[in-house]
Structure 1
Amino acid sequence: MIIGLIAGSSGDALTDQLQKSGFEVALVAGKQNEPGYEHANHTLVEDMSNKEEIERFFSNKNVRSIVIGTGHKKVIELAEYLESKGFVTSINPERSQFAKDKIDFKENLIKSGFTTPNFYVIEEKAELKEVLGNLTLPCVVKSAIDLIQPRKANDTIELEDAVGNVLATGSKVLIEEFVSGTDYTVPVKNDGNKVEALEALNYNKANEYKLIGFEKRSNPKMDRNTEEKLKDIAVEIVKKFNFTGLVRVDCIVENGEVLVLELNSVIVTGYKSTLMPFYKEAGIDIAKEMIDVSLKILRGKEELL
């Protein structure tokens, strides 16, 4: 059986896992040297916005089921299109769109009783003057739909520059309170029947990605109570908002309080992922976990058709 795969930087590990599971892999890559391209059984290099070409490729290979291994905005939109054409994918595109919009997600977190850092939303640069009086610096400037990496602004000059950079992408700006706590991430899997947190990991994205404005800092190892609290909150969020597949909940803990930052509805599982050493240390084969839960979801969707 040939199974479809759209995976970006996760294409290498996911191709290997699918082949170990007995499948041929039809991989759609955004560029020719993308991970997994050399090992997949069938390949297409195509911009993810060219939906009809990708649909034709999968149809010609008699592909019906497609594993989505990247959370890129174009890929989520592509998954939505493919499902409308009768294919089944390993994600729920509507839920992924919801998680992708950081503002919508944070507003719903608050409504549901979860704690998240205070934030402001800006759609035009002129609006910055209206919130400057309420802002406490430093703060963190983010794209509402993840088009560029977050940046810490330590003064008004850096803030104006960061806001301008986000607005230039066409995204709304999320200005978030800077919390000087300890960063953690929790991968959670939901196959439609069981929701389980794999582990709570000490992971500082700013350190690993060398994000602008952030000072490198160490993450003290968490105690057992904090670990269990993080896992419980992550599972509760996945259940509350009905996320399926393998997702990741990012949090920061300050003075014992857990503040939820965001949820990644499709996580990076490639061999060169910055999180791979953390998964290995915790004894997690993250690519295998991704494929196992994706196949269960795909089989469940097939039974519903």
Structure 2
Amino acid sequence: MDQKAPESFGKVAVMFGGNSAEREVSLKSGTAVLNSLLEVGVNAHKFDPAEKPLTDLLVEKFDRVVIMLHGRGGEDGSLQGALQQLNIPYTGTEVLGSALCMDKIRSKQVWQSLGLPTAKYKIADKRSYDAGSCKVIMDSLGNEVMVKPAQEGSSIGMAKVDNAQQLETAIQDAFKYDNKVLIEQFIHGSEYTVSILNGEALPSISMTTPRVFYDYAAKYQADSTVYSCPSGLSLHKEAALAELALEAFDAVAGSGWGRVDFMQDKLGKFYLLEANTVPGMTEKSLVPMAAKQAGLSFTDLSLAILTTSELFEGKEA
């Protein structure tokens, strides 16, 4: 990979922490990326928007921002819009793509409109939700579903249920995080993820867990989760999955870098779950794992992500 001189990036703010439900994961991702950039001589500094206003980016004369804020406030387009108004280049996906990818319902609807494979679903809206509809929903989706707040990450607020009473409880729990809830047909099979870096798909990863599903604990706390990279797919299926990931990411206006998650059913068909525009970047996260398989060190990956900020240089707000 061609690398620019570290000093050519100017003064870099690595933005992490924030106030979302994913703050703790963001702190780990941001710290790892900050340290890797510092090690190669980038003039990088921590910037936690929970501790100071974004306008301090101008006061402190930062040249660009590496976004390592997960979840609301960092991944939903609001920060991207603010940085564009400040005319400060930033990494990753722009406003529209960030907002679409953060909203599991909207991204699913885009994919569905383009004929891309995604599981059957229903939507619960807090403003019009009728608890009496739970039995009908379960019947229509096969009596086994995943319940997901529309705009949370890291599996926060998610639950797997197999009867109407559980569904009612899970929806109410999900409403604590979001006014709209996605109720999705449960796909029995294996979970895969494909990381994307500058328009190219990295090797896929398969994840297996003894837990009910790949939840927050399986992602960040349990030692029982097994990651396979290479994932074990045939060359043909690996290529097909990579193509689907790139098509899906482009469909929701993703750019720069990100990750697309899938389920594969027992017949081998892949279903899109969601796209992530600021995925985890700890030393044990999925994107660094895929990058390593592709021959990129964590530092190489951090620099490649930093370089995506150049897409915005010269743009006016």
TM-based fold match above 0.5:
yes
Identity %: 21
Name the counterpart of 2:148: 142
CA RMSD between the two structures: 2.7
Write out per-residue CA displacement over residues 106-134 of structure 1, whole angstroms, 9 at most, x where no aligned residue. Answer: 00000011010111000138424235224
Residue 287 to residue 114, structure 1, CA distance change in 2 (3 Å): farther
Name the counterpart of 2:300: 288
Residue 75 to residue 197, structure 1, CA distance change in 2 (3 Å): same
Name the counterpart of 1:75: 74
Write out per-residue CA displacement over residues 70-99 of structure 1, whole angstroms, 9 at most, x where no aligned residue. Answer: 332112422321221222211312211110
Answer yes or no: is 1:271 the counterpart of 2:280: no
Distance 1:185 1:89 in 2: 24
Write out per-residue CA displacement over residues 200-223 of structure 1, whole angstroms, 9 at most, x where no aligned residue. Answer: 111247346346xxxx89788322
In the alignment, which of 15, 33, 43 is matched to residue 6 of structure 1?
15
Distance 1:204 1:172 in 2: 28
Answer yes or no: is 1:133 the counterpart of 2:129: no
Show the 5 A alignment for 1:142-161. Answer: 142-146=148-152, 148-161=156-169
Write out per-residue CA displacement over residues 143-175 of structure 1, whole angstroms, 9 at most, x where no aligned residue. Answer: 000162421112223211111111122331111
Residue 252 to residue 284, structure 1, CA distance change in 2 (3 Å): farther
Answer yes or no: is 1:175 the counterpart of 2:180: no
Distance 2:99 2:135 in 1: 30
Name the counterpart of 1:223: 234
Distance 1:262 1:90 in 2: 20
Q: CA deviation at 1:262?
A: 0.5
Q: Is the 8 A contact 1:269 1:287 kept in 2?
A: no
Distance 1:86 1:304 in 2: 7
Q: Which moved more, 1:166-175 or 1:284-293?
A: 284-293
Answer yes or no: is 1:19 the counterpart of 2:38: yes
Distance 2:62 2:306 in 1: 15
Name the counterpart of 1:87: 88
What TM-score comes out, normalization by structure 1 length? 0.80
- The runs of 5 or more residues in structure 2 that have no matched partner are 1-9, 17-25, 219-223
In the alignment, which of 110, 113, 124 is matched to residue 111 of structure 1?
113
Name the counterpart of 1:300: 311
Indicate the SS of the match to 2:50.
coil
Answer yes or no: is 1:209 the counterpart of 2:216: yes
Indicate the SS of the match to 1:116.
coil
Q: CA deviation at 1:290?
A: 4.2
Write out per-residue CA displacement over residues 228-260 of structure 1, whole angstroms, 9 at most, x where no aligned residue. Answer: 111110112233333112110101111121111
Distance 2:216 2:66 in 1: 26
Distance 1:97 1:170 in 2: 15
Q: CA deviation at 1:285?
A: 3.2
Distance 1:200 1:27 in 2: 31
Indicate the SS of the match to 1:251.
strand
- The runs of 5 or more residues in structure 1 that have no matched partner are 30-45
Distance 1:99 1:249 in 2: 10
Q: Is the 8 A contact 1:245 1:294 kept in 2?
A: no
Distance 2:146 2:252 in 1: 25
Show the 5 A alignment for 1:90-101. Answer: 90-91=91-92, 92-101=94-103
Q: Is the 8 A contact 2:195 2:287 kept in 1?
A: no
Q: Is the 8 A contact 2:124 2:180 kept in 1?
A: yes
What TM-score comes out, normalization by structure 2 length? 0.77
Distance 1:146 1:73 in 2: 7
Aligned AA (1:60): V
Q: Which has the higher contact order (CA 8 A, sep 6+)?
A: 2
For this pair of structures, how many residues does the alignment match? 276
Q: Which moved more, 1:101-110 or 1:165-174?
A: 165-174
Distance 1:221 1:128 in 2: 43
Aligned AA (1:176): E
Distance 2:251 2:305 in 1: 19
Q: Is the 8 A contact 2:124 2:181 kept in 1?
A: yes
Name the counterpart of 1:162: 170
Distance 2:61 2:110 in 1: 40
Distance 1:141 1:274 in 2: 23
